[in-house]
Amino acid sequence: MHLVHDLLSLALRLIVVLAIVVPLERAFAARPQRFLRTGFCTDLTYYFFADLLPKLLMVLPLSALAWALHRAVPSGFYANMAALPLWVRLTAGLVVGEIGFYWGHRIMHQVPALWRFHAIHHSAEQMDWLVNTRAHPVDLFIGHLSGRVPIYALGLAQPMGNHIDPLPLLFALTGSFWGFFLHANVGWRFGWLEMILATPGFHHWHHTNDGREVIDKNYASMLPFIDRLFGTFYLPRQALPQAYGIEGSVPVGFVEQLVYPFSAGARVSLPPESRLPQQS
């Protein structure tokens, strides 16, 4: 029954996103492309099935973390954090969660074993809202865990409290819908707002395959100042990328992509600037 409920919830969310984002893409497309573009069916499969597994995988490590922290940290600390207004915890959680996600995301670009999984997301050569869902479950697991661990560690979200904490749900819903917007095929630019919030223009440059000097930028999912802080911000005033994708290729089908990172024949190369220094 839980599986049926989850699938119905995903279907309802899909309908809402379709009703909002697709008309915008039709009216304000950054570049003309078919609705059923290459890889559409694979990405739709990811939407329904790859979203469920990471949630199951995260239950054990997050529960273990919460259990350990509530025994290692004085109880008064978490009581004080829980007493903060919701908007304070939400704002602070967004910042520290973004910093955690930034580094988890950046590491996936720098460690070859992790890049094999994350490269599947970057293999899309046409950008639209549904590319947001193209992510291997291992990739999703690392990204979600990186963003949530700091939030739980600081007591900004408290899954082991005496009441249901709405923050994890708020973070999940906000991140999900914003992700569809970031990947949308829209040509809008937002001026000064792009310095405050991540936009499609900001995130499209993260997916670019335009050359060595512009790759591996814009790792943040919502707060561009984090990229400015760590030297990875890149956002020309007017231009959008001319090409998307990766060096090399991955299989097209859903099952083949799930298996590919584990295969001995995987040949997805890190961009030169991403490679960690070799030990001498």
Q: Other CB atoms closer than 10 Å to residue 15's CB: what's the count?
A: 10
| Residue pair 121/135 in contact by the 8 Å Cβ criterion | yes
Q: Does a structural domain hold residue 171?
A: yes
- Pick left, alpha or beta for residue 218 (phi over 0 → left; psi -120 to 50 → alpha; otherwise beta): left
Instruction: Please enumerate in sequence order all residues whose Cβ is within 8 A of that of 225, keeping only pairs 6 or more positions apart, or say none.
Output: 195, 196
Q: Does a structural domain hold residue 13?
A: no
Burial of 205 (0-12, 13-18, 19+ CB in 10 A): buried
Q: Does a structural domain hold residue 16?
A: no
pLDDT of residue 275: 47
Q: Does a structural domain hold residue 241?
A: yes
Q: Does a structural domain hold residue 200?
A: yes
Residues of the chain with pLDDT under 70: 1-3, 51-56, 158-164, 264-280
Q: Does a structural domain hold residue 2?
A: no
Q: Does a structural domain hold residue 206?
A: yes
Angle at 37 between CA 32 and CA 41, to 5 degrees: 155
Question: pLDDT tens digits, residue range 171-191?
Answer: 878 888 899 999 999 988 888
Give how many domains the chain has, as a whole number: 1
Q: Does a structural domain hold residue 17?
A: no
pLDDT of residue 280: 32
CA pair distance 274, 180, nearest whole angstrom: 26
For residue 190, give its domain range.
Answer: 39-266
